[in-house]
Structure 1
């Protein structure tokens, strides 16, 4: 499936970030449901008129966030679903708790840091 994305060369937002954000938006909107196979890096780069490294970086960041999965020869597929975002936040929260305990950062200070980040 060809995602409906565009890169605006005049934008101050880097091309890889434009692509990452647009793909994630399409996933959230249901245009790219879980299991949808994405174009190869080279194919999408050619379609968008950008360097393959631009698409590769967007895919890498989406994969790190759990939004897509790369399955080798089977390609890259959408892994995002409405509950995937919440699962990712839960995983990161567990990591944050572990690091805060190792670093002896009090729980009330961790909460304050999270509240500030959410503001």
Structure 2
């Protein structure tokens, strides 16, 4: 997740954060099932107050963009299309699993492209 807060902007930091997450979801950069940082972790990373990030997360949750799963954390919510949501969740699980085996993103993409050619 790539977020850049412009502190000199007339748009409030929480709204910048909210808008950027929505843009990444719509652009396919964040897909259903992707775990996002905790409020405290993201606040620390961005140099924001935890309440600012919490406000953005509440707004995103109200909009159905993210969902909190108790102690498991906060995730990008499933979209309106349940089939697409399942595919995105499978892709996310695959990416996490293969990364945990030590493969780079470019190696993972090559594996997927090879698998698609063979399918």
TM-score range, shorter chain: 0.5 to 0.7
Structure-1 separation of matches of 2:22 and 2:80: 12
State the partner residue of 1:17. 15
- Whether 1:39 aligns to 2:10 is no
| 1:64 pairs with 2:54 | no
Give distance in 2, aligned partners of 1:68 and 1:38. Answer: 9
Q: Aligned in 2, Cα 1:11/1:82: closer, same or farther, shift over 3 Å?
A: farther
- How many residues are aligned here? 82
Q: CA deviation at 1:45?
A: 0.3
Instruction: State the SS of the aligned residue for 1:73.
Output: helix
RMSD over equivalenced CA pairs, Å: 1.4
Deviation at 1:81, TM superposition (A): 2.8
- Residue 11 of structure 2 aligns to a residue whose secondary structure is coil
1:75 aligns with 2:99: no
TM-score by length of 1: 0.66
After TM superposition, give the deviation of residue 33 of structure 1 in Å: 0.2
Whole-Å Cα distance in 2 between the matches of residues 74 and 58 of structure 1? 19
